[in-house]
Amino acid sequence: MEAKIEFKLLKTIRNFEGMNLKGSVFKEKEVQGKKLLTLELVFSDNGLYKTMVLVLNEDLTIGDYQDIYEQIIKWNIKTKLK
């Protein structure tokens, strides 16, 4: 990864430091005829809410990282039931 891109990503992530994860949801979207899997993470701290949207490679996420995918889905279901 280029250093310039890595710097931008780390700078963006720092905006969420210290905030609590309040919810997550996977969504499939179609952009220019391509299906994309997104993960929307909602963070909150002292009444301020921020959303981080990650675009994922569906084959890798559901294939190689199935266990992580399942854990996030289970956590998402638990938090929605409360």
Predicted TM-score (pTM) of this structure? 0.63
User: Model confidence over 32-49: pLDDT tens digits?
Assistant: 888 888 889 999 988 889
User: Model confidence over 49-75: pLDDT tens digits?
Assistant: 999 998 877 666 666 667 776 777 777
User: Model confidence over 22-32: pLDDT tens digits?
Assistant: 988 888 888 88
**Under a CB-based contact definition with an 8 Å cutoff, are residues 42 and 23 in contact?**
yes
CA distance 41 to 26: 9
The helix (run of H) or strand (run of E) holding residue 40 is: strand 34-45
